[in-house]
């Protein structure tokens, strides 16, 4: 008969001598009973491994997971709040300020347009004021009865001068008129000069050019026309 000896650890308290003792006892038994021991299949003895036994549930892991979820939720809410603040103060507030500035500009522009419309007739009103005010007779020694009709002089200024350029100033003394104007080219001034000379109420016309823009003779910035009016008797002939 052939047999195999199987030796093992039954507890953690056993030592290597326990395995050797088991083999020794089994070998003696085999020899006594005429049993042949097969040593070819012998394997080293294995020590029993004790597996841990779990008797409870670890709740800390579940609490950690819940804590991580709360932390993530708080982080998302904080980021959303920060984005809201940035959008409100960085974008929306700027748009509100831009709208207020645009509204203020529109109000000022409307006032400017209204003022421009109110001043569109300024030159004519100023001329009429100076025509019928004491500026027409700064020299009190002259007899106004010998002067040309002021309405005719006003018509000359309105029709032949103000229709061509911008009035800067007007001075009248006796039969002398000094008219300062701007905004006309040399060609326009020449044509106006010829028309004024042909007027029956004008005795003489003189032209003084004050300045040009960058030496360009096509545009005159300032010029003065000195007009000598005829007497009322000469104008009626």
pLDDT in tens, 190-218: 899 999 999 988 999 998 876 655 555 55
* Higher per-residue pLDDT: 151 or 107: 107
Residue 138, token pair as written in the block: 């700064």
Round to whole Å and give the CA distance between 191 and 12: 132
DSSP three-state, residue 220: strand
| Structural contact between residues 135 and 177, judged by C-beta atoms closer than 8 angstroms | no
- The single residue listed with the structure tokens 């009865």 is 145
DSSP three-state, residue 76: helix
| Structural contact between residues 219 and 186, judged by C-beta atoms closer than 8 angstroms | no
CA 1 to the chain's CA centroid: 106
Residues with Cβ within 8 Å of residue 57, at least 6 apart in sequence: none
Dihedral over Cα of 199, 201, 203, 206: its sign:
negative
What integer pLDDT is reported at residue 139 of this predicted model? 47
Dihedral over Cα of 133, 136, 138, 142: its sign:
negative
Alpha-helical runs (H) found in the chain: 16-32, 60-87, 93-119, 122-132, 150-156, 186-197, 232-236
Q: What is the mean pLDDT of residues 38-46?
A: 61
226, pLDDT greater than 90: yes
What integer pLDDT is reported at residue 45 of this predicted model? 52
Round to whole Å and give the CA distance between 199 and 177: 14
What pTM did the predictor assign?
Answer: 0.40
Round to whole Å and give the CA distance between 184 and 205: 17
* Higher per-residue pLDDT: 134 or 185: 185
What integer pLDDT is reported at residue 143 of this predicted model? 47
**CA-based Rg of the chain, rounded to a whole angstrom?**
61
């Amino acid at each position: 008969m052939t047999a195999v000896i199987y030796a093992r650890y039954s507890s953690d308290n056993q030592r290597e001598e326990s395995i050797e003792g088991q083999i020794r006892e089994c070998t003696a038994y085999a020899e006594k009973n005429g049993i042949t021991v097969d040593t070819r299949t012998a394997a080293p003895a294995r020590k029993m491994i004790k597996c841990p036994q779990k008797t409870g549930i670890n709740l800390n892991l579940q609490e950690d997971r819940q804590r991580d979820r709360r932390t993530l939720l708080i982080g998302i809410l904080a980021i959303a709040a920060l984005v809201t603040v940035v959008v409100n103060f960085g974008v929306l507030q700027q748009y509100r300020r831009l709208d207020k500035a645009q509204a203020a500009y529109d109000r000022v522009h409307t006032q400017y347009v209204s003022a421009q419309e109110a001043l569109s007739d300024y030159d004519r009103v100023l001329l009429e004021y100076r025509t019928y005010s004491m500026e027409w007779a700064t020299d009190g020694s002259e007899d106004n009865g010998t002067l040309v009709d002021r309405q005719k002089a006003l018509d000359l200024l309105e029709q032949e001068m103000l229709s061509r350029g911008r009035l800067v100033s007007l001075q009248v003394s006796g039969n002398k008129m000094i008219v300062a104007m701007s905004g006309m080219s040399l060609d326009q001034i020449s044509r106006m000069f010829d028309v004024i000379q042909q007027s029956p109420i004008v005795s003489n016309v003189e032209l003084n050019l004050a300045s040009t823009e960058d030496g360009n003779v096509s545009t005159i910035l300032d010029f003065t026309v000195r007009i000598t009016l005829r007497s009322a008797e000469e104008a009626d002939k």
